[in-house]
């Protein structure tokens, strides 16, 4: 099974990585960890100009996030590779899912507001509604030491 794990280094993204480690079988799951560099904002007077690429510091941070998450998965017995991409995060994640024929996309829900507990962030919402594969959205509440319980819903159909 091919899994795309999107990470921005946030607590929900780390919870998503821990969930993959806890419920996945390292012998059967191949993970690509992607950290997406969003395009820099275009200053209002410069709307017609081409924006610069992300800073070296931002790229280095994205590389560290992807590499650290992949290393953790590797230590847990998974084949895991880091990847840094550039673009609108939701659209870029969906593009990677399509291009890499991933079976599952896993990402953290990035909302922190009271309304956010009822809704998902814009990136996770975009991926959930646009992904051609299954999508798992993880909130930042996954206990690391407790027994993990998973509820799987089904209607009995084959597909």
Q: How confident is the model at residue 50 (pLDDT cuts 50, 70, 90)?
A: low
**Tell me, what's the pLDDT at 43?**
62
CA dihedral 66, 135, 101, 148 (to 10 degrees): 70
Which of 49-53, 89-93, 112-116, 123-127 has the least mean pLDDT?
A: 112-116
* Six-digit token string for 69: 């998450």
Residue 130 Cα to chain centre, angstroms: 14
> For residues 89 and 52, is the Cβ–Cβ distance under 8 A?
no
N residues, the chain: 159
Is the pTM of the predicted complex or chain greater than 0.95?
A: no
Q: ∠ CA(21), CA(147), CA(64), 5° rounding?
A: 30
Residue 90 pLDDT level (bands cut at 50, 70, 90): very high
Res 55 pLDDT > 60: yes
Q: Is the pLDDT of residue 49 over 80?
A: no
DSSP tag of 113:
S
- pLDDT per residue over 111-124, tens digit each? 555 444 445 568 88
- What pLDDT score was predicted for residue 157? 85
Q: Are 53 and 86 in contact (CB under 8 A)?
A: yes
Q: What percent of the chain has pLDDT over 90?
A: 56
Tokens in use for 93? 């994640």
Is the CB of residue 4 less than 8 Å from the CB of residue 107?
no
């Amino acid at each position: 099974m091919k899994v795309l794990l999107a990470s921005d280094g946030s607590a929900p993204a780390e919870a998503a990585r821990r969930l993959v480690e806890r419920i996945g079988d390292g012998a059967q799951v191949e993970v690509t960890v992607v950290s997406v560099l969003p395009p820099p904002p275009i200053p209002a007077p410069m709307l017609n100009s081409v924006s610069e690429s992300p800073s070296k510091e931002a790229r280095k941070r994205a590389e560290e996030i992807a590499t650290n998450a992949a290393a953790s998965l590797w230590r847990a017995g998974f084949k895991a590779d880091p990847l840094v991409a550039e673009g609108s995060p939701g659209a870029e994640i969906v593009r990677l899912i399509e291009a890499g024929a991933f079976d599952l996309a896993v990402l953290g829900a990035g909302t922190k507001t009271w309304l956010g507990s009822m809704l998902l962030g814009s990136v996770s919402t975009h991926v959930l509604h646009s992904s051609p594969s299954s999508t798992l959205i993880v909130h930042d509440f996954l206990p690391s030491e407790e027994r993990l319980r998973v509820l799987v819903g089904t209607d009995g159909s084959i597909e």
